[in-house]
Structure 1
Amino acid sequence: MPENNRSLADDVRSRSAEQLQQLVLARPDLMQGVAVDTSGLAARAASRASVQRAVESLSADALRVLEALLVSDGDTRAAAARLAVEESVVDGFADDLWTRALLWRKGSALVATRSVSELLLPRATALADNGALDAAPLELPSVGRPGAEQTVTDAHAGQAALDLLRRIESLAAHWQQSPPRVMAKGGVSVRDHKRLASALGLTQGAVAFVAELAHAAGLVADDHDIDATWLPTTAYDEWLETSPAHRWSVLIDAWWAMLRAPSIVGTRDAAGTTVNLLGAGAAWPMMRQRRHDVLAAVAEAGDGVAVDAGDVDDLLRWHRPLRLPPGAPTRSADVLAEAQWLGLLADGQLSSAGRALLADACDEAALEPLLPALLDHVLVQADLTAIAPGPLRDDLRRLMGTVADIESSGGATVYRFSSTSLRRGLDTGWTAPELREQLTAASLTPLPQALGYLIDDVARQHGVARIGAATCYLRSDDEALLDALLADRNTEPLQLLRIAPTVVVSRLPAARVLTLLRDAGYSTLAEDASGTVASTAAAPGRAPVPRPPAPVTTTAVSASVAERFVADLLARNGSAPGESDGDPAVTVDLLLDAAAAGLPVRVGYVDTAGNVKRVTLRPTGVDGGRVTGTVGDAVRTIGVHRITDVSPA
């Protein structure tokens, strides 16, 4: 290693190709922008913005060593004594800091770059004065407690994933039936948010996560109509037809890339305005990286170790002490809650799905074994209940959700049959024999006689009055029923007119009459021209699938990429060491180094008349795009944009 380095630029230029590759791998931002030579690379490495990114990426141990070296004037022995560690420990960290070009070597001494001193010296001095650097720990904090077996964690995570899939379905069904309006400023109103939480039986925080995740996955969206509403999308219909493992993987991918923070929905922003569900205020791009960091921290705690939000905070602050100083919000509790709802975390530790996600291998094949086995049967009881001893197959779960109401849920789900719930099934178009046949096939126990009687009784009363188009007509063999309809004030908006003892007509469309009569408590059915029962269910409204936002692309800096970059870098070297050929970044860096060291430099520049001149300048400061210094006894100021070259005097 040469010992005549006068600056970071000299140090960088003296490095081997392998050492330069290590530098750009440690600080990939140095590869951005136009192509440069080694002098330009040194200038980039010395820039305040790049140095700030580099020091903010340091973990607590490396930062403490760097601060100890700053207050010890680069003396590794003195820094080791302050930190109460062996000098070899400090030497190891110092080598890494040199590799990152945060320190440079002047002979056997270590010198912090100018920007590092400007950024950290005041802080390091304050820490040294109050003793915070004395014997500062350099070990990763020990966190967590013994966790559950991985199989238990995976079982809990798989059940959480199934619950989330059902909540997405419930959300879509609710919004399909009662779509909330899109607010003028975008998003869902507080009232509709509360209504959705009540319908799904969730807290407002949990339902905000479900809705935001469904939107991120393209399953619900603004329909962009004149009177815009939130509706399921056509992509939702396709998603619903896929396997549970595939549906789960779609939600995981959406969450991993989501730039929104559901946890801040319902809070107030800086202006005191409520952050609405699916509104612009819930956008928070940094949340995506925080999700990645939190899951990585949970994994770092080790296999079989359960952690809580406090443990994760300790790990995050250790790895990014400058970005997350004490008191800065980490949102780790919010991320852990989301990961648990999504089945990536359970019992305080990563599920196999979470580990697969971190390994970029979270596909349908990896998720399928984690989901609980789905049952194809229920146990119908004599008390008009049915017990599902575990999670049901989608088709059976949807059947039971239509013809019965959930009475309790947990390890087993208890459904209760009633006249109202069975009427829902008949309203969908099933006949009593079809309903009895499906329930008989699904139950391991014989269908109770009482349930059969109830189905027949409901079916007997169901559709006593039938509606068709005349604009529409309503007919019934029960003349007393039609008398009651005509006398009922609730049916006055239908403008009913009796045209025969058993026939009434209305000017309203058949679907509208059917809905209003059912709302008024009358059991009615629709029929076609042949008298056959017809379904009046219109095709459900659907919103167009929203265009996903442009992804934030990152280019991984691999060893091969770094090798090609350095080869091009070395091929462009044209200036002698310590010289600038007009690159503004290199020029400013050389002038700043000269000002800091009090050294003169030869400067070529173009004057106002367009003449090229050369002077020996002793810089005293570089600011605002101008360098100020002395030429002999005279003070001169030259615009950096006019400088053509700089070289040692």
Structure 2
Amino acid sequence: MSGSSSALALAARLRALPDDALTELLRARPLREAGIRDVFDLAEALLEAPSIQAALVHLDRSVLGALAAAVLLADGVGQVDAPAIAARTGQAPEVRDPALVRLVDLALLVEDGDGYLVPEQVGDVLRDWPAHGLPSPGELLDAGPPAALEAVAGEARVRADRAAGERAFAAVTAVGELVGAVEREPARLLQRGGVALPDWRRMLAATGAHDDAELDTLLAIGEGAGILTATDGAWRATPEADAWRELPRAARWTALAAGWLARVPAELREQLRARAGAHWGQGLLDYLAWLYPAGGDWLAQRTRAVIAAAERLGIVEATVPSTAGVALVGAGPDAAGAAVAELFPPDVRQVYIQHDLSIIAPGPLAADVDARLREVADVESVGIASSFRVTAASVTRALTHGATIEQLRALLSEISLTGIPQPLDYLLSDTAGRFGSLRVGPLDGSTGGPSGIAHAYVRADDATVIGQLLIDQALAPLALRRADEHEAVSRFDAEMVYWSLVDARYPAVYEDAGGAIRAVRRTPPREAPRDAAGDPAARIVERIRANAAEQPVESGAAWNARQLELAIKSKMQVTVVVRMPDGSEVPYLLEPAALAGGRLRARDRRADIERTLPLSHIVAVTPA
């Protein structure tokens, strides 16, 4: 089947597809939008060698074998049927062979009655594979798989489970801290890609990640579980994060593992399930390289990323799937959660409060106790045993969120195994007494004296505090200037001033225009809007349908004209059916030369003469 006739046949199939099927095809085979006006442009784009190769890299041996058989059988013939393909691949004929269905859905084969047309361009790409170190069509059909993967011994599984339990616990803890970090202050995404360096360092510190790759893995795990999202120019916690943190620890791990499993590529998920009893090391990579011979770097990189996340979650340990990992890929997340729960230490509900204002949790804190303690104390370290510290700023934060000093004392008394030490009792009383003595609020942009416009004020009950703020070098970027004895103003917005004071460890509170104290959350600086392009596939389909709607579809003239234009461009012969004045229809084998003024000029190869035919009398055009 020649390249030009392939494009005509494919264009006819694309024209007949419903919008949703055409959109799915374009999502499976993304194309550049430029220059695609109709199904002929689309067919030519799909039959370009780079586009064909991009589709082939995601196909496994079973599908590639069916395509290779079709290419070999159709050589010089053009059309081949399913039984012949099945016989060549050694498979039993099926009414609807899934491999052939997928090839048709990807526009790599074209259905033609009871058989399939093999586009010449597809055959050319496949036959050119050996020049690029890839198997030939014959090798795709005949080469056997590599040696079986190494089975996991019983002792190896026991060791893997022991280490996997520690990793699973650490993963839940690290992702929880990551959620908290971006909840307090979203991590800004840069326009050129990546996260702003200060935010990246802050997330590294919060999670205890050893390197950038580990933090990337934690972000991917959180995103897969639906509790982290990169949106509006920053990494943020989703509304589902609050419910996730309230779950028991094993259930939190189950949610993370379920998110991991859902994001494992379809090409890999079934292989992991089938090989749950084998090592997931180099042998697995070798097998996948055989199974997806055109996969190239993308498959190896994606597999390594999947395994890295699995190791972080305790699904696999040193290439050995853990018991929880085997349950996850075999029976699902709930079974895996039950397995991992047995590896986690029990939760504790009480802590030791030290005289130096530190708080030590002797084991993993129950989720509700941990959440309540974080309201009044700052986290210093997390793990099986965690430590916190109560500061004036942390108590002020709790008061700002609506807690009373009596409620804070009751909480600490309830969870403490050592009571409330005197230094902590003094800190609570002193902070409560000074609460609200330093307030930040918005101004309406009124003139703040000769120095310009003021957008925020800082008011203090103690005038000496204002003087201290004015000489504090850490606050110099705010350009604070005194408005009166108890007030300073700044040209920056009130929230920025507030967070600058909090970061400098001043017990500041934020009050709104009505004077009511309220809690505020940090918001990252806005990047320039990103391209909200939407769905390119849907846009291409919409454009094709819109262009078709503008043509005289009822006569078919536009369709015939585009086929003739393609034939002229490719110097190919076509069969043109012409309606004669008496109503009869006559076929001509023509080589079109020009199309202008509503008339076709072409060479009649059988009669060896040149014909000029009105386009309005042409009722059909088909490849010769």
Which TM class, normalised by the smaller chain length?
A: 0.5 to 0.7
Q: Distance in 1 between matches of 2:616 and 2:53?
A: 25
Give the letter for the 1:644 counterpart: V
Q: Is the 8 A contact 2:360 2:387 kept in 1?
A: yes
The alpha carbon displacement at 1:307 in A equals 0.8
State whether residues 460 and 466 of structure 2, in contact with CA within 8 Å, keep that contact through their aligned partners in structure 1: no
**Aligned residue runs from structure 1 range 19-418, under 5 A:** 48=47, 58-60=59-61, 63=64, 67=68, 90-92=89-91, 114=120, 117-123=123-129, 133=139, 137-139=143-145, 142-143=148-149, 146=152, 148=157, 156-157=167-168, 160-175=171-186, 188-202=195-209, 203-208=211-216, 217=226, 230=234, 235=239, 239=243, 243=247, 291-293=264-266, 295-296=268-269, 298-308=271-281, 310-322=282-294, 324-325=295-296, 330-341=301-312, 348=319, 349=321, 372=344, 375-380=347-352, 387-401=360-374, 409-410=382-383, 412-415=384-387, 417=389
Alpha carbons 1:602, 1:614 under 8 Å: kept: no
- Residue by residue, what CA displacement relative to the aligned partner does 1:364-387 show, whole Å, maximum 9, x if unpaired? x98688565762424527786655
In the alignment, the residues of structure 2 paired with residue 494 and residue 514 of structure 1 have an alpha-carbon distance, to the nearest angstrom, of 15
Q: Cα distance 1:639–1:468, how it changes in 2: closer, same or farther (>3 A)?
A: same
Change (3 A) 1:496 1:126: closer
What's the counterpart of residue 619 of structure 2? 644
CA offset digits 1:319-346 (Å, max 9, x no partner): 3323x24798643222333455567666
Distance in 2 (alpha carbons) for counterparts of 1:484 and 1:582: 81
TM-score, normalization by structure 2: 0.54
Where does residue 538 of structure 1 map in the other structure?
A: 519
Does the aligned pair in 2 maintain the 1:71–1:121 contact within 8 Å? no
Residue type matched to 2:305 in 1?
D
Q: Compared with structure 1, are the counterparts of its residues 232 and 582 closer, same or farther at alpha carbon in structure 2 (3 Å cutoff)?
A: closer
Distance 1:618 1:293, change over 3 A: same
Distance 2:142 2:324 in 1: 36
Distance 1:292 1:457 in 2: 57
After TM superposition, give the deviation of residue 168 of structure 1 in Å: 1.0
Q: For each residue in 1:557-591, what CA deviation from the matched residue of structure 2 results, as whole angstroms up to 9, or x when unmatched?
A: xxxxxxxxxxxxxxxxxxxxxxx999879x99xx9
Closer, same or farther in 2 for the Cα pair 1:584/1:117, shift >3 Å? farther
Query: Conserved in 1, the CA contact under 8 Å of 2:316 and 2:322?
Result: yes
Distance 2:620 2:579 in 1: 10
For residues 132 and 218 of structure 2, the distance between their equivalents in structure 1, rounded to whole angstroms, comes to 47
Task: Tell whether the 8 Å contact from 2:460 to 2:487 is kept in structure 1 after alignment.
Answer: yes
- Cα deviations by residue, 1:490-515 (Å, 9 ceiling, x for unpaired): 37957497xxxxxx733569999998
The superposition leaves residues 166-216 of structure 1 with CA deviations (integer Å, 9 ceiling, x where unpaired) of 3212221244xxx75x75778743444344434544333444555677678
Deviation string, structure 1 residues 379-408 (Cα, Å, up to 9, x no partner): 527786655354322332234446666565
C-alpha change, 1:508 and 1:220, in structure 2 (3 Å) is: farther
1:454 to 406, 423, 443: 423
In structure 2, C-alpha distance between the alignment counterparts of 1:118 and 1:131, rounded to whole Å:
11
Could you say which residue in structure 2 is the equivalent of 1:568? Answer: none
* Counterpart residue type for residue 91 of structure 2: G
Unpaired stretches in structure 2, ≥5 consecutive residues: 7-16, 27-42, 76-85, 111-115, 440-456, 474-479, 539-555, 594-599
C-alpha displacement of 1:163: 3.1
- The separation in 1 between residues aligned to 2:278 and 2:123, in whole angstroms, is 39
Post-superposition Cα deviations, 1:90-123, rounded to whole Å, max 9, x if no partner, equal 533898688878999xxxxx99775554333344
**1:29-84 deviation line (CA, Å, top 9, x unaligned):** 89989xxxxxxxxxx9xx9589879866653366468658967999xxxxxxxxxx
CA contact (8 A) 2:348 2:363 kept: no
Using the alignment, how far apart are the partners of 2:308 and 2:345 within structure 1?
Answer: 25
- Aligned CA RMSD, in angstroms, stands at 7.1
SS of 1:392's equivalent in the other structure is coil
Distance in 1 separating the partners of 2:337 and 2:533: 26
The answer to whether the 8 A contact 1:432-1:456 is kept is no
The 1-side partners of 2:592 and 2:120 are apart by 15
Tell me which moved more, 238-247 or 187-196: 238-247
Question: What is the one-letter code of the residue matched to 1:425?
Answer: V
Q: Is the 8 A contact 2:171 2:313 kept in 1?
A: yes
Q: 1:423 to 1:294 in 2, by over 3 A?
A: same
Q: CA deviation at 1:646?
A: 6.9
Contact 2:375 2:394 (C-alpha < 8 Å) held by counterparts: yes
1:614 aligns to what SS in structure 2?
A: strand
Match of 2:450 in 1: none
Q: Cα gap change, 1:584/1:154 in structure 2, threshold over 3 Å: closer, same or farther? A: farther
* Residue of structure 2 in register with 1:424 after alignment: 394
Q: Are the counterparts in 1 of residues 87 and 93 from structure 2 also a CA contact under 8 Å?
A: no
Q: Are residue 506 (structure 1) and residue 506 (structure 2) matched?
A: no
* TM-fit CA distance, 1:442: 2.2
> In 1, distance between residues paired with 2:347 and 2:58?
50
Aligned to 1:274: none
Secondary structure at the counterpart of residue 306 of structure 1: coil
What residue in structure 2 maps to residue 441 of structure 1? Answer: 414
Judge conservation of contact 1:194–1:204 (CA < 8 Å) in 2: no
Cα pair distance change 1:389/1:117, threshold 3 Å = same
**Aligned residues, how many?**
504
| 8 A contact 2:466–2:487 mirrored in 1 | no
Q: 1:474 is matched with which residue?
A: 461
The question of whether the paired residues in 1 share the 8 Å contact of 2:351 and 2:360 is answered with yes
Task: Name the aligned partner's letter for residue 142 of structure 1.
Answer: A
> What is the aligned partner in structure 2 of residue 630 from structure 1?
605
Letter in 2 for 1:148: R
Is 2:185–2:522's contact at 8 Å kept on the other side of the alignment?
Answer: no
Deviations 1:223-263 (A, max 9, x none): 7xxxxx85857836865676468877887788788xxxxxx
| Cα drift, residue 645 of structure 1 | 4.1
* CA deviation vs aligned residue, 1:506-533 (integer Å, no higher than 9, x gap): 35699999988877777x68899xxxxx
Q: CA deviation at 1:316?
A: 3.8
Partner of 2:451: none
Q: Which moves more between the two structures, 488-497 or 393-402?
A: 488-497
Deviation at 1:455, TM superposition (A): 1.3
* Contact 1:232-1:542 within 8 A present in 2 as well: no
Distance 1:253 1:640 in 2: 60
SS in 1 for 2:394: helix
Q: 1:428 to 1:634 in 2, by over 3 A?
A: same
Residues 1:521 and 1:170: Cα distance change in structure 2 (over 3 Å): closer
SS in 2 for 1:119: helix
Contact persistence 2:458–2:487 (CA under 8 A): yes
Amino acid at match of 1:614: V
The corresponding residue for 2:471 is 490
Partner of 1:163, secondary structure, is helix
Q: Letter of the 1:189 partner, please give it.
A: A
1:347 and 1:641 mapped to 2: Cα distance? 72
Distance 2:169 2:370 in 1: 17
Deviations 1:6-35 (A, max 9, x none): x99xxxxxxxxxxxxxxx9xxx889989xx
- Aligned-partner SS, 2:605: strand
- Identity between Structure 1 and Structure 2 (%): 19
Q: Residues 172 and 231 of structure 1 are in contact (CA less than 8 Å); yes or no, is this contact kept in structure 2? A: no
